[in-house]
Amino acid sequence: MKWLYKILHIVPPEDRAGITLTNPYWEVEPIKIFTEFLSALPIIIPNGSILYLEGGYPDKKLKEFFNKTQIANPVKIAIGTIWPVSGIDYYHIPLTDENIKELLELSKNHAEPEIAVHLLVYKGNKILIDWYDVFDDPFYLSEDIIEDKLKEFCNKLCLKYRRFTKYNGTK
């Protein structure tokens, strides 16, 4: 069956494996502006977290930043893009103050689709934020995100959140 995936240029299921957010706890409505999201992210994300960016259409400046800051030997993330199999980039960037500041500055001159199509945040082997189809769909957070911090994050961004009960059919 692998031959069919190769002909159709689709990532086979065994190559999509990796860590996922298996039990989402919070759901937050989408935000359309990446710089606002990124500037508020330190409110809810612990030190040592990694920003995972998948897809997108980064220009030379973004790619230089992504390649310069990307970690070696990252955790394998369950990919969100299954087609096309080629041309999709994946970046694992430590969420340090310096990296956030530089990415905020770069993002001011780029549209959101240039940055990523899928965005996750993880620490160790645990997904903290799961956001496929960024800027269009809600994003999901782990139970490790404390509600007081989530409330502060959402108030800063004028977003609504709720206790997650079940996927709406998109996952």
% of residues, the chain, pLDDT over 90: 52
**What is the C-alpha separation between 119 and 130, in angstroms, rounded?**
7
Q: Return the SS3 of 100.
A: helix
- φ, ψ at 137 (rounded to 5°): -100, 160
What is the strand order of the sheet 126-132 is part of? Answer: 90-94, 50-54, 118-123, 126-132, 139-141, 26-28, 161-163
Residue 139's identity, in one-letter code, is F
pLDDT at 9: 55
Q: For 23-31, what is the mean pLDDT? A: 90
Tell me whether residue 41 is in a domain: yes
pLDDT at 171: 44
Q: What is the pLDDT of residues 157-169, one digit of tens each?
A: 999 999 987 655 4
Count of CB atoms within 10 A of residue 57's CB? 14
Poorest-pLDDT segment among 28-37, 42-51, 111-120: 111-120
Count of CB atoms within 10 A of residue 72's CB? 5
Mean pLDDT of the chain: 84
Tell me whether residue 10 is in a domain: no
Tell me whether residue 7 is in a domain: no
pLDDT at 169: 46
Domain with 106, as residue range(s), is 15-163
Residue 136 pLDDT class (50, 70, 90 cuts): confident
In 3D space, the residue among 34, 74, 52 whose CA is nearest the CA of residue 129 turns out to be 52
pLDDT at 38: 94
In 3D space, the residue among 93, 113, 116, 97 whose CA is nearest the CA of residue 105 turns out to be 97
Token pair recorded at residue 162: 């709720």
pLDDT at 100: 95
Tell me whether residue 168 is in a domain: no
Tell me whether residue 123 is in a domain: yes
Poorest-pLDDT segment among 16-25, 52-61, 104-113, 139-148: 16-25
Tell me whether residue 74 is in a domain: yes
Tell me whether residue 1 is in a domain: no
Q: In the chain, how many domains are there?
A: 1
Q: For 52-56, what is the mean pLDDT? A: 86
The whole-angstrom distance between residue 99's C-alpha and the CA centroid of its chain comes to: 15
Residue 49 pLDDT class (50, 70, 90 cuts): very high
Tell me whether residue 5 is in a domain: no
pLDDT at 130: 92
**What is the C-alpha separation between 114 and 47, in angstroms, rounded?**
26
Poorest-pLDDT segment among 4-8, 26-30, 143-147, 159-163: 4-8
